[in-house]
């Protein structure tokens, strides 16, 4: 069995885990991120992600869920004081039973499985971690094959993104690339025609009026500025979501969710 550490002070090991919650650069250097919550941790193990360490709180015996997960993951384990676990768990009034340090997966679009009805979401320069997590959750719910985050963007492995995904971050590939070019190069090498469909309030075609049943990259723009000029130039079609009322636009993750639902609706039909 993997060895067990006992940590009761804010030593260097604890400080490294603490930094994973707040410092993107340190997540990258360490090649790992910290995962909070029963469902996200369970899905990380279920889907074969690299579990580098499991952190538990000292005190009463562990639940059946925690014991079985520790047995399944067979990762190094650390037992921390309740106070230290509360700091890492992000809830002052609650001590988490279990936390996991998980290895960062490769930012390689080849991780995305290619099916005849491929559906991939490209999120262009998102600035809010919660929006990334929400869109990943929607992509998982509506049968997308992966999410690609492009450009200078918030981090999908920020704790706020991980929580908002409710574990879906581990159920489908999420990849970061520098720009639209890497997405087009990957799609162009698949050997099948892939349409690139952007979403924008000023698009010339209603979302429901465009065929989304074939291989598709669905592009969702930045929360403030929408699609970049580069993405607009390469889209085969830009679609709009019809709206009424006083709202001038939808939240980026909400717009992406609506578009994903429409793609799923058409594909069921």
229-246 tens-digit pLDDT: 999 999 999 999 987 776
Domains and CATH numbers, the chain: 4-103 (3.30.1330.30), 109-268 (3.40.1280.10)
Residue 1 pLDDT: 46
Between 90 and 136, the higher pLDDT residue: 136
Q: CA 82, CA 34: separation in Å to the nearest integer?
A: 17
Q: Which two tokens stand for residue 97?
A: 């039973």
Residue 245 pLDDT: 75
pLDDT value at 249 more than 60: yes
Average pLDDT value over all residues in the chain: 94
pLDDT value at 167 more than 70: yes
Residue 3 pLDDT: 65
Q: How far is CA 10 from the centre of its chain?
A: 29
Average the pLDDT over 21-28 and give the result.
96
Residue 206 pLDDT: 96
Residue 4 pLDDT: 75
Q: Which two tokens stand for residue 188?
A: 């162009």
Q: CA 195, CA 128: separation in Å to the nearest integer?
A: 27
- Length, in residues, of the chain: 269
Residue 2 pLDDT: 55
- CB count, 10 Å around CB of 227? 23
14 — pLDDT class (breaks 50, 70, 90): very high
- Inter-CA distances, 9 with 36, 61, 84, 128, 210, Å: 20, 21, 8, 33, 58
Burial of residue 29, with CB atoms counted within 10 A of its CB: 0-12 exposed, 13-18 middle, 19 or more buried: exposed
Contacts of 106 (CB under 8 A, 6+ apart): none
Helix (H, G, I), strand (E, B) or coil at 217: strand
Residue 149 pLDDT: 98
Check if the beta carbon of residue 137 is closer than 8 Å to that of residue 6: no
Average the pLDDT over 203-227 and give the result.
94
Place of tokens 């706020």: 160
């Amino acid at each position: 069995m993997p060895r067990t550490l006992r940590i009761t002070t804010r030593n260097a090991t604890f400080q490294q885990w603490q930094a994973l919650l707040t410092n993107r650069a340190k997540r990258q250097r360490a090649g790992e991120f910290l995962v909070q919550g029963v469902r996200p941790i369970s899905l990380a193990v279920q889907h074969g992600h690299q579990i580098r360490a499991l952190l538990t709180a000292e005190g009463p015996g562990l639940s059946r869920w925690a014991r079985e997960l520790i047995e399944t993951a067979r990762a190094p384990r650390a037992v921390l004081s309740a106070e230290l676990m509360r700091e890492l768990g992000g809830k002052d009034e609650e001590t988490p039973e279990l936390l996991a340090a998980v290895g960062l997966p490769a930012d390689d679009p080849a991780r995305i499985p290619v099916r005849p009805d491929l559906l991939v979401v490209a999120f262009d320069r998102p600035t809010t971690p919660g929006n990334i997590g929400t869109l990943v959750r929607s992509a998982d719910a509506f049968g997308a094959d992966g999410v690609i985050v492009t450009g200078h963007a918030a981090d999908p492995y920020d704790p706020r993104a991980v929580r908002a995904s409710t574990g879906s971050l581990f159920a489908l590939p999420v990849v970061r690339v520098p720009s639209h070019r890497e997405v087009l190069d990957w799609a162009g090498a698949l050997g099948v025609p892939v349409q690139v469909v952007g979403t924008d309030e000023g698009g010339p075609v209603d979302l429901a009026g465009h065929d989304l049943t074939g291989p598709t990259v669905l592009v969702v723009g930045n929360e403030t500025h929408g699609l970049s000029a580069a993405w607009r130039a390469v889209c085969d079609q830009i679609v709009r979501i019809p709206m009424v009322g006083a709202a001038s636009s939808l939240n980026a993750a909400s717009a992406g969710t609506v578009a994903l639902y429409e793609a799923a609706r058409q594909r069921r039909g």
